[in-house]
Chain A
Amino acid sequence: MPLLTPPAPSGTSFTTPRPTGPVPQPAPIPADRLLVEETIPGGSAVSFVVRRHTTLRLTALEAGANISFLCFNRAEPVDRYNMADTLKGQHTSKLTTGCMLYSDMARALFSITGDTLGWHDPLGGHDTAAHVEKKWGKKNYQTARNDWHRNSHDHFLIELSKHGLNARDLVPNINFFSKLSTDSDGRLSFVPNHSKAGDHLDLRAELDVLVILTTCHHPMDTRLAYGPAPIRLQLYRTDPPSATDYCRTYRPENERALYNSELFSL
């Protein structure tokens, strides 16, 4: 194995242009690479590990889906997705193909290697019992059974606890499949029905990553009836990022984030 050396600095690079040329599109998953697939009902939560250089494909099974998403370096969960570093490192307020999800120790956790949608929300946070009750009323398990109204905040706390984590680890989350628009005064508004059935994105793990996700509504969702959409999860084997990998070359920062992940994996 060659000596690992840090990528060259790129100056202050505040205005480094994005790569030109075609944006890679997600391809069908080769049957011999698919490891597992599962459908998650709306309003649910799951947590699982995605091994390094395995890709997680998330697919919306209905229009207007939302996945509230947290991720952690599995080996050291104190090292976790960091919203601010991810956004400022890539000079973006949306997530799409080319972007990486950085940890707060400056490692690449995931690379977004494909995306049919073009915009996923890193800003809006997650819904709580109070949000859901205010919009759609309260439906508890006693009276509604599996049709009860659920929320990401409670789910996150429950799933965090299963991995020895707690409320102190509930950092800003991503909302895949949702979009917030901002005007010139920075006012935020929710874009209804941003995703359609079949939209999907691919997340390639650059470390062993612990994922916690919910299929609850976006906290700013404006629809009239409670009805979170189901999601399909698929895991498939992928190759390590090549020297010309789109995500690696998307920003000079991404190259250095991958180097930090390599360093961690020695």
Chain B
Amino acid sequence: MSTLIYTESSLTPADAAYRHVIPAGDFWMHEIKAGQVLRILDLEGNQAADTLFYAAADFRERYSAQDTIRENGGIYLTTGTKLYSNELNVLAEITADTCGRHDTLGGACSCEANTLRYGHGTRHMHSCRQSFLLGLMTWPGSTFDLNKRDIPANINFFMNVPVTPEGGLQFADGVSSPGKYVEMTARMDIVALISNCPQLNNPCNGWNPTPVEVLIWNP
């Protein structure tokens, strides 16, 4: 039986410097300074928050799923996990987690990938990578033209995607519930891009996409 690691935060919402609710299917893109703490709060439970991080100084440096799992020695993200960039720098570190584990192998849904997974009838449904693209294309702080090349493999906060010793990959029941959260401390100036997943075709959102809240505390 695998272990879930729960760590409460000492931070209180009343002290947060910033709060914002991301409706299901919407995106949120925001700079987080080194030392600031970002909390993602699963308001109603079973919601997937598909998340990318970039180095604010140069978006060519960004979150790397493969480097993160290899350098941490495991596929699940939880308290203590360092989120590595493609340059092997630590972008942020997970410092509290009441959910227990998060996925970084399952990636983000797209209109095109939906045709593979659910059939071509889903081609025109809303998807995470539409949100990522709109976020990248409209980010006012970018110094160069961001586009699809800038969408690497992402983190799926609150998603449970176990890998079996035989090499299988499962979409298991969520381990999240209303009020669960994950917190990370930025180790450099970063930009977070969250797609609050609109997926209606699999249980990652409990078949019902719901809002999440983001909170930021100053050091």
Q: Let me know if B112 and A260 touch, CB within 8 A.
A: yes
Q: Is the CB of A84 within 8 A of B88?
A: no
A88-B106 in contact (CB<8A): yes
Name A171's contact: one of B74, B76, B152, B202 (CB within 8 Å): B152
Contact B113–A168 (Cβ < 8 Å): no
Say yes or no for B31: interface residue by CB 8 A criterion: no
Known A14-B171, A78-B149, A170-B86: A182·B165 in contact at CB below 8 Å: yes
| Contact between A123 and B105, CB atoms less than 8 A apart | yes
Question: Smallest CB–CB gap between A235 and chain B, Å?
Answer: 27
> Would you call A234 an interface residue if the criterion is a C-beta within 8 Å of the partner chain's C-beta atoms?
no
Q: Which of B73, B122, B167 contacts A92 (CB 8 A)?
A: B167
Chain A: minimal CB distance from B80 (Å): 13
> 1/0 per residue A154-188: CB within 8 Å of B?
00000000000011111111000000011111111
Q: What is the CB-to-nearest-CB distance from B161 to chain A, in angstroms, rounded to a whole number?
A: 7
Residues of B within 8 A of A181 (CB): 165
Residues in A whose Cβ lies below 8 Å from that of B66: 83, 123-126, 172-173
Q: Give the contact stretch, choosing among A5-13, A20-28, A56-64.
A: A5-13
Asked if A91 CB lies within 8 Å of chain B CBs, one says yes
Chain B residues numbered 61-97 whose CB sits less than 8 Å from any CB in chain A = 64-67, 69-70, 73-76, 86, 88
B150 within 8 A of A: yes
A15 to chain B, nearest CB (A): 9
B195 within 8 A of A: no
Say whether B115 contacts A93, CB under 8 Å: no
The reply to whether B112 and A104 form a contact with Cβ atoms under 8 Å apart is yes
B163 close to A93 (CB less than 8 A) = yes
The reply to whether A186 and B112 form a contact with Cβ atoms under 8 Å apart is: no
B169 within 8 A of A: yes
In the assembled complex, B2 has its CB within 8 A of some CB on chain A: yes
**Contact at A93–B167, with CB atoms within 8 Å?**
yes
On whether the beta carbons of A188 and B73 are closer than 8 Å, the reply is: yes
B117 touches A253 (CB 8 A): yes
Residue B120 CB within 8 A of the other chain: yes
Bound-state CA distance A32–B74 (Å) is 46
For the complex, give the distance between the alpha carbons of A169 and B151 in Å.
9
Taking the nearest CB of chain B, how far is it from the CB of A155, in angstroms? 15
B205 at the interface (CB under 8 A from A): no
Cα distance A85–B86 in the bound complex, in angstroms: 20
CB-contact partner of B116 in A87, A130, A167, A260, under 8 A: A260
Provide a sorted-by-A list of 30 A–B residue pairs whose CB atoms are within 8 angstroms. Answer: A6-B119, A7-B119, A12-B201, A82-B113, A82-B153, A83-B65, A83-B66, A83-B107, A84-B106, A92-B168, A93-B164, A93-B169, A104-B148, A105-B112, A106-B112, A106-B116, A123-B69, A124-B70, A125-B67, A168-B60, A169-B149, A172-B66, A182-B164, A186-B2, A186-B163, A188-B70, A219-B70, A220-B70, A253-B117, A257-B116
Interface residues of A (CB under 8 A from B): 6-10, 12-14, 78, 82-85, 87-89, 91-94, 102, 104-106, 119, 123-126, 128, 130, 166-173, 181-188, 219-220, 253, 256-257, 259-260
Q: 10 nearest interchain CB pairs? A: A84-B107, A9-B119, A125-B66, A94-B167, A106-B112, A6-B120, A186-B75, A168-B149, A186-B76, A93-B163
